[in-house]
Amino acid sequence: PRIAAYLRRVTRSPEWSEDLLQDTYVRFLNAEPPRMDERQTLSYLYRIATNLVYDGWRAMRREREWEEVAPSAETMPEPVGLKRDDEEALARLSPRERALVWLAYVEGYAHRDIARVLEVKDTSVRVLLFRARRKLAGILEEAGLTPEVLG
């Protein structure tokens, strides 16, 4: 369920995220990874899922079909656990920023784990996450969703 929720938020496409989820587990089972604890296994699955998302976006960009495939915010089903305003704010972040925010604040991943999943340097995660948070805060403020309003 955690990988499925991550893929739905990052891709913003329920249908595509289901396909990616299946591909993630197929790749995981075919890879025959070394023995890992539960946390390492989950990180490994996030990495596979993220790589599949990036591969998919690259393929779509090459084919110039991205605008036809990605659903708009209006066609997205009501998300579970997020308010509509939160979902719309997240949708305005780049895919990488959404992945950073999701892994850090929903999954509670440490920076080194996020770095492994997104294949960036450990030292880059702090800066990238800071920028993503600042951008998200600006989006929320622009929408009038300040801490005072949310109470």
Per-residue pLDDT of the chain (151 residues; tens, 9 = 90+): 899 999 998 888 899 999 999 999 999 988 877 888 888 899 999 999 999 998 887 777 665 543 444 445 454 444 444 455 667 778 888 888 888 988 888 888 889 989 888 888 988 999 999 999 999 888 888 877 666 554 4
| SS3 labels along the chain | CHHHHHHHHHHCCHHHHHHHHHHHHHHHHHHCCCCCCHHHHHHHHHHHHHHHHHHHHHHHHHHCCHHHHCCCHHHCCCCCCCCHHHHHHHHCCCHHHHHHHHHHHHCCCCHHHHHHHHCCCHHHHHHHHHHHHHHHHHHHHHCCCCHHHHC
Give pLDDT, residue 129: 93
CB 99 within 8 A of CB 142: no
Give pLDDT, residue 52: 92
Give pLDDT, residue 68: 47
Give pLDDT, residue 83: 57
